[in-house]
Amino acid sequence: MLTERAASLASIFHPVSKQMEQVSSSLALLADKAGLSSDEKLVAHALLGSGKKIRPALTLLSAKILGTPSEKVITMATAVELLHIASLIHDDTVDYADTRRGESTISSKWGGKVAVLLGDYLFASSAMHVCETGNIGVIRRFSETIMDLARGELQEHFSAYNWAQTKEDYESRIYDKTATLFSTAAESGAVLSNASSDKVSALKSYGYHLGMAFQIIDDVLDFTGSESELGKPVGNDLSQGTITLPTLLFIANNPSNAGILSARNGEYTKSTLVKLVDEIRSSSAMDEAIAVCVSHTEAAKESISWLPMNNAHRSLNSLADYVIAHSK
Amino acid sequence: MLTERAASLASIFHPVSKQMEQVSSSLALLADKAGLSSDEKLVAHALLGSGKKIRPALTLLSAKILGTPSEKVITMATAVELLHIASLIHDDTVDYADTRRGESTISSKWGGKVAVLLGDYLFASSAMHVCETGNIGVIRRFSETIMDLARGELQEHFSAYNWAQTKEDYESRIYDKTATLFSTAAESGAVLSNASSDKVSALKSYGYHLGMAFQIIDDVLDFTGSESELGKPVGNDLSQGTITLPTLLFIANNPSNAGILSARNGEYTKSTLVKLVDEIRSSSAMDEAIAVCVSHTEAAKESISWLPMNNAHRSLNSLADYVIAHSK
């Protein structure tokens, strides 16, 4: 591994810790004021979870690398986190997930109806926050990001069990599913700090590569993590028919593997699957997938290498290393 | 009834028929180009249904009363219809509705997962269209409208079987559920035509009152319509615990009615319900509810009475009458 001891997220976020607190306060205020129902705990449960808040930190650090984050940037960071929360609520609903980060999901606690509608409410609430920035380009990019997120999840659904899909299909899907929001988070921090277009492009590119790396690591961990760490069975993606990078690389290396051939023929039994997950996990595909991931985190750091070296810059570099360090 | 022979919607929409065709073409193009999946019919099924398109017509007629609707207005009208469609897809999903206007719903045909995600995609797509208008005030109002729609449905859910709710609770709920989008549709047509603020207010008020009337009539028809017209059982709202204006007026007139008292005590059997629906349907509460509705359509017409009298103005007056005429 590149980094044996990664910095903690708290230390990475340190240059913007004050602004991160403001984001948390805004979410708490929203939970208080939503007045959605007599069941006051609903919005609080949705907003005050134990998420890592990497996306709003990205907005704030992108601004901080260039100066002091303005109020608009903090509002944008709040919007980015709200959008992420809304999208998780819908994902958990459609996937019938019972828990996330050890807490009950909204859908398991309040039912699918409330979860779908609360997700809609929070999507719109995130858009309202973006409107407060008054920047029409940022608002448009944000709306496009919501479209990307939904399309990414839809494509994942429609491409399940499609063994003919390519690495390009996978890349396009994880861009929609994950990297688009990372990219928007970083880009908007720069745009709202009135950065020059080359600086905006650099931070947007950083966000893109970090997001791609983040999703690839997530897909690797689905094979290498333990059930207790993942909160779901090992090989869960493949058992749902979701074909990710490790599987695609394994297929490329082992086109005649018996498990793959059976799966292609629609023979998808539990024992075939368990064997296939084991084979993929112990194959070179895992290291190859991690190497793709490392190439993204290196590209992320490279994108911003010419920007001023300061605490925020060092944090963005550490954040890229953090993603890799957590792949094992 | 005020109007024995209401004008048809086609004749009401006539002053903006060319622009209505442009809205339909935009929706068809979106269905073609979404490229969401190999299952190409999904988006077409969602967008090319047989909806009445009252909301986009409202945007176009509000602009037309003041001049010729611009491209921005037509884009806004498309956004308004997209938002309505997205919201219906989620409503049908959370209510497990099998059909709408005689067609299978997205959720019954493609499953809840696809329906939730497609709804998200279309919400965002509607926001992208609004961004094209470049008007930040309209974009903000549109986001607020999406929040209202979700809150309205959530409040309906949380206030089910709550016999202590007031007429004010009901009014606030149907504003969120229905009138807010009518109001935004009309207001944005005026704003994007650069109308003066008093004209904007007049058309916004027209939209508000029309929307309130529209929802009240819908709630009346739930009692007076036939099962074949409604596509659902008579008294369906009450059987789901949804307390609407006719029921609230009936309670006010008959505080000691046996069925109401049982329901308040949580004794909510099927036979109690059937009897209660019958009693409400044959009570004076129905005419009282229609009178409230008429007061809204009259207020709608009154709001715009001082604006230039032209074909579009006559259409807006006819549209108000149309809503009432369809209450029986």
CA B317 – CA B319 distance, rounded (Å): 5
Name residues 112-141 of chain A within 8 A of B (Cβ): 112-114, 116-121, 123-125, 127-128, 131, 134, 136, 139-140
Q: Which of A118, A140, A154 sits opposite B118 (nearest CB)?
A: A154
Q: Is residue B118 part of a domain?
A: yes
User: Would you say residue A81 has pLDDT above 80?
Assistant: yes
What confidence score (pLDDT) does residue B232 get?
Answer: 73
Q: Indicate whether A16 pLDDT > 60.
A: yes
Q: Is residue A3 part of a domain?
A: no
In a domain, A289, yes or no: yes
- A150 lies within 8 A of chain B by CB: yes
Q: Which two tokens stand for residue A6?
A: 């990664």
Interface of B with A in 30-59 (CB under 8 A): 36-39
CATH code of the domain in which A205 resides: 1.10.600.10
pLDDT score of A58: 98
Instruction: Give the residue with greater pLDDT, B326 vs B14.
Output: B14
Mutate which of A37, A113, A114, A157 to test chain B, going by most B C-beta atoms within 10 A?
A: A113
In the predicted model, is pLDDT for residue B38 greater than 60? no
Residues of A with CB below 8 A from B144's CB?
124, 128
* Mean pLDDT on B11-20: 96
Position A130 pLDDT exceeds 50 = yes
Facing A127 at nearest CB: one of B94, B125, B127: B127
With 0-12 CB in 10 A as exposed, 13-18 as middle and 19+ as buried, what is A229? exposed
Q: Which amino acid is at A175?
A: Y
Of B95, B116, B146, the CB nearest to A90: B116
pTM reported for the whole predicted model: 0.92
Sign of the C-alpha dihedral, residues B66, B67, B72, B76? Answer: positive
Portion of chain B with pLDDT greater than 70, in percent: 95
pLDDT band at A4 (very low <50, low <70, confident <90, very high): very low
Of residues B266 and B212, more confidence is placed in: B212
Check: CB of residue B56 under 8 Å from CB of residue B77. Answer: yes
Q: B326: closest CA among B277, B283, B278, B293?
A: B293
- Count of CB pairs separated by less than 8 Å, A with B: 123
Rounded to whole angstroms, the Cα distance separating B296 from A262 reads: 65
Give the pLDDT score at B37.
Answer: 60
pLDDT tier for residue A38 given thresholds of 50, 70 and 90: low
Predicted pLDDT at B259: 86
Give pairs for A230-235: CB < 8 Å, separation 24+: A231/A99, A231/A100, A231/A101, A231/A102, A234/A277, A234/A281, A235/A273, A235/A274, A235/A276, A235/A277, A235/A280, A235/A281
> Which residues on chain B are in Cβ contact (under 8 Å) with A119?
116, 120
- For A167, the token pair is 């690495």
Percent of chain B with pLDDT over 90: 68
Length of chain B: 328
Contacts of B309 (CB under 8 A, 6+ apart): none
* Beta-carbon count within 10 A of B310 CB: 13
Average pLDDT over residues B30-53: 77
B120, B144, B154: residue with CB nearest A114: B154
Average pLDDT over residues A173-197: 98
In a domain, A2, yes or no: no
pLDDT, residue B1, reads 38
Say yes or no for a CB contact (<8 Å) between B143 and A150.
Answer: no
On average, the pLDDT of chain A sits at: 90
Digit-coded pLDDT (tens) for A202-258: 999 999 999 999 999 999 999 998 777 767 777 888 888 899 999 999 999 998 888
Average pLDDT over residues A172-176: 97
Contact predicate B318/B5, CB 8 Å: no
- Name which of A64, A70, A30 is nearest A203 in CA terms: A64
Question: With an 8 Å Cβ cutoff, is B106 touching chain A?
Answer: no
pLDDT value of position A299: 98
Calculate the average pLDDT of chain B: 90
Comparing alpha-carbon positions, the chain A residue that sits nearest to B119 is A150
Q: Which of B211, B217, B212, B207 is nearest to B304 (CA)?
A: B207
Task: Quote the minimal CA–CA distance from B109 to chain A in Å.
Answer: 14
Mutation to test the B interface, candidates A147, A157, A242, most B Cβ within 10 Å: A147
pLDDT for the residue A235: 81
Question: Does A4 fall in a domain?
Answer: no
Count of domains for chain A: 1
When pLDDT is cut at 50, 70 and 90, the band that residue A123 belongs to is very high
The number of residues in chain A equals: 328
Top residue of B122, B141, B143 to mutate, by most chain A CBs within 10 Å, is B143
Interface subset of B 151-180, CB within 8 angstroms of A: 151, 153-155, 157-158
The confidence score (pLDDT) of residue B2 equals: 39
Provide CB contacts within 8 A for A40, sequence distance 6+: none
Is residue B3 over pLDDT 50?
no
CA distance B290 to chain A (A): 29
Residue B314 pLDDT greater than 50, yes or no: yes
Which residues of chain A lie closer than 8 angstroms to B151, CB-CB? 36, 121
Cβ distance of A124 and B112 shorter than 8 Å:
no
B90: contact with A, CB 8 A cutoff:
yes
Q: What is the pLDDT of residue B235?
A: 81
The interaxial angle of helices A54-64 and A197-224, nearest 10 deg, is 150
Of B116, B136, B144, nearest to A116 by CB-CB distance is B116
Please check the confidence at residue B163 and state whether its pLDDT lies above 80: yes
- A281 close contact with B: CB closer than 8 A: no
Q: Is residue A144 part of a domain?
A: yes
Contacts of residue A235, Cβ cutoff 8 Å, sequence gap at least 6 = A222, A223, A273, A274, A276, A277, A280, A281
Q: Do B128 and A140 touch (CB under 8 A)?
A: yes
- The answer to whether the Cβ–Cβ distance between B124 and A146 falls below 8 Å is yes
| Nearby residues of B276 by Cβ (< 8 Å), 6 or more positions away | B235, B238, B257, B259, B260, B263
| Angstrom distances, CA of residue B190 to CA of B21, B140, B200, B323 | 20, 16, 5, 22
Which residues of A are less than 8 Å from B154 in CB distance? 36-37, 114, 117-118, 121
| pLDDT digit string, tens, across residues B244-297 | 999 999 999 998 888 888 888 877 788 888 889 999 999 999 999 999 999 999
Q: Is residue B1 part of a domain?
A: no
Average pLDDT (B127-138) is 95
Q: What is the pLDDT of residues B178-209, one digit of tens each?
A: 999 999 999 999 999 999 999 999 999 999 99
Q: Which tokens hold the place of B147?
A: 């929040």
Residue A144: its chain B contacts at CB < 8 A? 124, 128
Asked whether the beta carbons of residue A37 and residue B144 sit closer than 8 angstroms, the reply is no
Q: Per mean pLDDT, which range of A306-310, B46-50, B52-56 is the poorest? A: B46-50
Note the pLDDT tens digit of each residue in A251-279. 999 988 888 888 888 777 888 888 899 99
Residue A181: domain span: 9-325
Lowest mean pLDDT among A51-55, A80-84, A243-247, B99-103: B99-103
The closest CB to that of A131, out of B136, B149, B150, belongs to B136
Q: Which residue of A has its CA nearest to B155?
A: A37
Instruction: Note whether A128 contacts B147, CB cutoff 8 Å.
Output: yes
**Residue of B99, B208, B215, B97 whose CA lies nearest to B156:** B215
Q: Which helix (H) or strand (E) covers residue A100, if one does?
A: strand A99-100
Nearest to A113 among B125, B147, B157 (CB): B157
Mean pLDDT, residues B21-50: 80
Residue B2 falls within a domain, yes or no? no
